[in-house]
Amino acid sequence: TFSFSHSPKGFPKLKNDTFLRAARGEETEHTPVWCMRQAGRYLPEFRETRAAQDFFATCRSPKLCCELTLQPLRRFPLDAAIIFSDILVVPQALGMEVVMVPGKGPTFTEPLKEVEDLLKLRQKVDVTAELGYVFQAITLTRHSLEGRVPLIGFSGAPWTLMSYMIEGGGSSTMAKAKSWLYRHPEASHQLLRLLADVIIDYLVGQVAAGAQALQLFESHAGHLGPEQFQDFALPYIRDIAQAVKSKLKEEALPLVPMIIFAKDAHYALRDLAHAGYEVVGLDWTIQPQEARAQTGKDVTLQGNLDPCALYAPKEKIGELVKKMLEAFGTQRYIANLGHGLYPDMNPEHVGAFVEAVHAHSRHINKH
C-alpha cells in the first residue's frame, strides 16, 4: 500500500458540523441538507468553468475540482460539500480508457468482453500514483472551504463500476454485465474483489487528504434482484466499510461517517442498515416511514425527495419538504434528493429546497 506520512494537517476549524452530527446520530438544531450532483451543469457558472475542458481533464485538475465544488456553496446555505469528481476514475486507475462523449455520456473505448480481458487490468494499483489528483483536489478544497462545512469524498461501489466496465457506458438493462454474473460467477467475484481492494485504498486516501465523510454509490443496485445483490453487491459493500474503518484506525486517521447509497435496493434496506455504515441513503421510490421501520434506530437516513419535484413551483417545493421532514422526523436524518440534480433545473428552485429544509426543520424542532 502507501504511506500517509504526507497527510496534511492544519486544516481550518469546522464552523458548521450539523451534517456530521446528524450522520453520527447526534442531535441537531436543524436538519442538514446537501444535494447529490450539487456541483453540476444546472449552474451557469459550472458550464462556464467546464466549457473549455475535456470532462476527465477537469477531474484531473485539483484547481478546477476545487472551484466546481465551491460554486454551489457560494449560492446556497448547504450543510456539506462533495468533492467534484467521477466514479469512473477507479476503472481508469485500473488501466481502462474512458472518454466523455457529448450527448452520450461516459464511454469505455474497450469494455471488458471476455473473462480473459481481466488480465489487461492492473492487478496492483498504487492509488497515490493513479488517483493522487483526487487527493490533491480534496486537500485544496478542504483548505479553501475555510471550515464552512464538511467535505464529503466518494467512490462508486464494485458492482456499479463492474457494470460500466462491461457495458462500456450507460445501459437500460445491464444485460451484458448481468450475463457475467450468471455465466462467469468466479470471474465476476475476481473483478469485484479487485475493485473493492482499490476502492478501500482510495477511500482511506481521501480521508488522509482531508475528506470528513465518505459516500459509496451503488447506483446500479436496482438492476439486481435480491439474490444477485446478496451474492455480488452486499458482501463487497460490507467489506469496504469494515476494511476502510480498520485501515483508518491503523493509520491513526479520523474515523469518518460513511454513507451507503444503493439506488432502488428497497429489498436490501435491512441488510444495508447492518452493513457498517452510519448513514443509509434512499431514492424517492420508498416511503420514509417504511424506510425507518426497515432500518431501525441505529442509522441515520439520507434522502429522498424526487429530483423532479424541483420542477414544481417554489411554494409546492416547500410543501413537499415539510411533508418529507414530518415523515422522516428531523433527527437522525440528512435531507437530500433521491438522486442527483438534472442539468435543466432552475438554481432558484434548488435554493428553495435548501431553505425549506432549514426553515421547516427548525420550526418542527421548536414545537
C-alpha to C-alpha distance for 309 and 296, rounded to whole angstroms: 27
Catalytic residue among 17, 21, 42, 50: 50
Residue with cell 437500460: 172
Residues 6+ apart with CB under 8 A from 171: 163, 177
Residue 41 designated active-site: yes
Residue 86 designated active-site: yes
In eight-state DSSP terms, residue 33 is: B
- Ramachandran area for residue 286 (φ above 0: left; ψ -120 to 50: alpha; else beta): beta
CB-facing half-sphere around the CA of 13: CA atoms within 13 A: 1
C-alpha cell at 91: 476503472
Q: What is the dihedral of CA 281, 285, 287, 291, to 10 degrees?
A: -40
Taking residue 52's Cβ as centre, other Cβ atoms within 10 Å add up to 8
Answer yes or no: are the C-beta atoms of 211 and 23 closer than 8 Å.
no
Residue 236 designated active-site: no
Residue 164 designated active-site: yes
Q: In whole angstroms, what separates CA 78 from the centre of its chain?
A: 16
Catalytic residue among 42, 142, 148, 164: 164
Residue with cell 466514479: 87
Catalytic residue among 21, 37, 148, 292: 37
3-state secondary structure of 305: strand
In eight-state DSSP terms, residue 341 is: P
C-alpha to C-alpha distance for 308 and 338, rounded to whole angstroms: 10
Taking residue 122's Cβ as centre, other Cβ atoms within 10 Å add up to 13
Residue 362 designated active-site: no
Catalytic residue among 75, 86, 342, 362: 86
Q: Which active-site residues does the annotation give?
A: 37, 41, 50, 86, 164
